[in-house]
Amino acid sequence: MAKEEMSMVEMGLRIVERRKRLGLTQETLAEKADVTPQFVSYAESGKRAMRPENLLKMANVLEVSADYLLTGQIIDKDMLLLSDKLRS
C-alpha cells in the first residue's frame, strides 16, 4: 500500500472514531457537513481524497481540526475545542 493510501485509510479511521464518539450516523454527518452519505462512506474507508473545503466541513462537524483528521496530531485548536466543551 502506498504511503498516500495509508494516510487516507488512517484519516478515515479517525473520522469513523470521532463520528461514533459524537454519536453520529454517516447520514447525519453527511447532512451536517453538506456532503453525501456516499462521500462520508468513501472518506471513512480511505477510498477518496477530500477537497480542502470538504475536509474543513467534516472537521467542523466532528469538532476537531483539519490537522487532526489529516495527521492524528492534536494541536492547540483541538485543546481549545475540548476546553470549550468541558465548560459548557
State the sign of the Cα–Cα–Cα–Cα dihedral 62, 6, 75, 87.
positive
Q: How far is CA 17 from the centre of its chain?
A: 9
What total number of domains does the chain contain?
1
The CA distance from 75 to 84, in Å, is: 15
**Tens digit of each residue's pLDDT, the chain (88 residues):** 565 556 899 999 999 999 999 999 999 999 999 999 999 999 999 988 899 999 999 999 999 999 899 988 876 665 666 666 666 6
By the 10 Å C-beta count (0-12 exposed, 13-18 middle, 19+ buried), 29 is classed as buried
Range of the domain at 61: 3-87
Q: Measuring CA to CA, how many Å separate 65 from each of 31, 78, 81?
A: 19, 6, 9
Give the CATH number for residue 59.
Answer: 1.10.260.40
Quote the Cα angle for 81-83-84, to 5°. 65
pTM of the predicted protein model:
0.80
